[in-house]
Amino acid sequence: MNQIPNDDLDLKISDIVVDVLSSAGVRTIFGIAGGASLHLLESVVKHPAMKLITTHHEQAAAMAADAHSRVTGNLGVAIVTSGPGATNLITGIAGCFYDSIPTVFITGQVSTTRQSGDTGTRQIGFQETPIVDMVAPIVKYAVQVSDAHKVQEELEKCIFIAKDGRPGPVLIDIPDDIQRMLIKDDSFSRNYSSGFSKRESNAFLTSLGDLVRSSKRPIIVCGSGINLADQRSLVINFLQELDWPTLLTWGAVDLLEGSFANRVGTFGTHGSRIGNFTAQNADLIISIGTRLDTKATGSPISEFAKGAKIIMFDIDKAEIEKFEKFGRVIDLPICLDLRDEQFSKALDSILENAPIIDEWNQFVGASKKKIVEVRTKPQSGFVEPYRFINLLSKLVPSEARVFIDTGCAIAWTMEAWEVSGKHRLFHDFNNTAMGWALPALIGSLAENLKIPSIAIIGDGSFMMSLQELSTLKSLSSCACIFILNNSGYSMIKQTQDQWFNSEYFASDANSNMLFPNFKKLAEAFGFDYVAIDSESEMENRIDVSLNNNGPTLCEVFVSPLEKVTPIVKFGNKVYDMDPKMDPKILKEFLI
């Protein structure tokens, strides 16, 4: 460790850390106090441009930082202590990594004089934990800084890497004795080079034009990379002019309003039938900003849209090349940052070469009208979840932000929500952790209390983070949470229907899974309470919940028998969904 001279001392390292974050546009930091993070947090609270939001669990701090980045387009930041404080971040970090969310996680560490180093021991200092090694596979960069003069440089490097190319989380681990050191002001500007190479020529445009011109049944697939690249307006204008059937991944489901003429909807294992039929019938798929994971393609990947050529725009070369290993050819791989001007040129080329596809558009439009899922009539004392979600989507303000937890909650919402106005729907789409939505709601409201924001959470997921009701109560007077209470883990029970002959274990009250009285819980945390247990009262009680003057917990009673439909059983082709269609009728929709 470098020795810091005792003369002319003027800057504390923890103050430098917060100044660097402030210079990067960060205004809100999430965290929890701990012995090894106190100097950092003190610097946050005394900084005139910073706001500290303290959660009750480090996982919630990470998830709030995640959502804060999603809604602001800037960095999300969380600061926690060493040991369990640091390890509690890991699920939240993973969500940021798999969804490419630019976030900075700062962990305190035991003093450099109390670290195990090369002693061969597991631990010297109290709560010493090798967090850098632990998170290495799920961050873009992680470093422990043991030299006070390197802190600013490493933090600036972290910020650059988090935003560069395919974004993602970074972690910087700062020992307690380093945080409190005083040094001279040695700030200076540094330039970091991108790790992502840019395409050197427009040679791909010729092949792109040829494939587009020769197609008769083309479709566009849009993913969350469009949001990450801040290209929503560009792509929406392109789709309006192109007039092709458009499929949306869950991460881009709010890109187009429900009234958009060529919006087919979602697709994949938990998508819509019409979306899967459209993909399977296509002869050309242009994929923009989505890695086409197995939830989209189904298994085996080689069977996805077997008769179609695929043009794939993706920033990560590895995401494109993976298809070779699974027997599916990407006919025109275009490794490109959607922020690059060549992406605009590519869209222009598609428009210039687009064939007339009136017959194909008519076929897709007619199929969309014919394929209507049959929903169950709700039992007494319950509401049908798809109808509830659809009605909720029509009653929330047009600029609403909606944070959705996993399980049936996300599947029902993705299928039934009717996007209008500026609705934005958020979820940790690839890690899909239980308990994400409540901290995410906090992350959004910390940025702007005036934008209407709600959370849709299953009862099981709610149990993972319910302590954060206290954080939300302290932060906002108008937050609204809808708990879909179906008395357990219905998505797990549906899997147990498929694979275990409906033998339910670890998924409901019959296996020691008990839930509290949510009305009393709401009262304990100072929330108003609304119950919805009949469809006749559904609209009125949604309206009361959304327009209440105080924070509101609305409990929506859903039958434990309700399922996600349609859905693809593992191993089936994506268009072969449960419940099964009559084979004769199925043939009508497959070219």
pLDDT at 4 over 60: no
**Residue 481: its H or E element:** strand 480-485
- Contact 16/39 with Cβ under 8 angstroms? no
The pLDDT value given to residue 1: 36
Q: What's the whole-number average pLDDT of the chain?
A: 93
- Which residue is associated with the tokens 């108003």? 528
- Contact 229/166 with Cβ under 8 angstroms? no
Lowest mean pLDDT among 98-112, 282-296, 520-534, 566-580: 566-580
**For residue 508, what is the DSSP state?**
B
Q: What percent of the chain has pLDDT over 70?
A: 96
Taking the CB of residue 302, how many other CB atoms lie within 10 A of it?
A: 12
pLDDT at 7 over 60: no
The pLDDT value given to residue 378: 80
301-334, pLDDT tens digit by residue? 999 999 999 999 999 999 999 999 999 999 999 9
- CA atoms within a 13 Å half-sphere pointing along the CA-CB vector of 174: 31
Handedness of CA 511, 512, 517, 523 (dihedral sign): negative
Lowest mean pLDDT among 87-91, 257-261, 349-353, 476-480: 476-480
- CA atoms within a 13 Å half-sphere pointing along the CA-CB vector of 208: 21
Lowest mean pLDDT among 76-80, 191-195, 435-439: 191-195
435-494, pLDDT tens digit by residue? 999 999 999 998 777 888 999 999 999 999 999 999 999 987 788 999 999 999 999 999
SS (H, E, C) 299-310: CCHHHCCCCCEE
228-256: average pLDDT: 97
DSSP string, 61-84: HHHHHHHHHHHHSS-EEEEE-STH
376-410, pLDDT tens digit by residue? 788 889 999 999 999 999 999 999 999 999 999 99
Is 179 or 198 the better-scoring residue by pLDDT? 179
- Count of residues making up the chain: 591
**For residue 403, what is the DSSP state?**
E
- Please, what is the angle between helix 232-242 and helix 341-353, to 10°? 10
CA dihedral 353, 356, 357, 361 (to 10 degrees): 110
The pLDDT value given to residue 401: 96
Q: Identify the band that residue 290 occupies on the pLDDT scale cut at 50, 70 and 90.
A: very high
CA–CA distance, 343 with 288 (Å, rounded to integer): 10
Beta bridge partner(s), residue 557: 485
Q: Identify the band that residue 277 occupies on the pLDDT scale cut at 50, 70 and 90.
A: very high
Taking the CB of residue 83, how many other CB atoms lie within 10 A of it?
A: 22
Beta bridge partner(s), residue 257: none
The pLDDT value given to residue 470: 96
Q: Identify the band that residue 136 occupies on the pLDDT scale cut at 50, 70 and 90.
A: very high
- Please, what is the angle between helix 385-395 and helix 538-546, to 10°? 50
pLDDT at 545 over 80: yes
The pLDDT value given to residue 444: 94
Burial class of residue 535 in the structure, from the number of CB atoms within 10 Å of its CB (0-12 exposed, 13-18 middle, 19+ buried): middle
**Residue 162: its H or E element:** helix 151-163
263-281: average pLDDT: 96
* Predicted TM-score (pTM) of this structure: 0.95
The pLDDT value given to residue 334: 96
16-43, pLDDT tens digit by residue? 999 999 999 999 999 999 999 999 999 9
- Contact 278/589 with Cβ under 8 angstroms? no
Q: Identify the band that residue 419 occupies on the pLDDT scale cut at 50, 70 and 90.
A: very high
Q: What percent of the chain has pLDDT over 90?
A: 83
Q: Which residues contact 267 (CB under 8 A, 6 or more apart)?
A: 221, 247, 248, 249, 275, 276, 278, 279, 296, 574
Q: Which alpha helices (H) appear in 500-548, and where do they start and end?
A: 518-524, 538-546
pLDDT at 6 over 60: no
CA–CA distance, 335 with 323 (Å, rounded to integer): 14
CA–CA distance, 187 with 185 (Å, rounded to integer): 6
Q: Which residues contact 110 (CB under 8 A, 6 or more apart)?
A: 36, 82, 124, 125, 126, 127, 128, 175, 176
pLDDT at 195 over 80: no
pLDDT at 8 over 70: no
Structural domains in the chain, CATH included, are 11-183 (3.40.50.970), 204-370 (3.40.50.1220), 385-557 (3.40.50.970)
- Which residue is associated with the tokens 């709401």? 522
DSSP string, 332-361: EEEE--TTSHHHHHHHHHHHHHPPP-HHHH
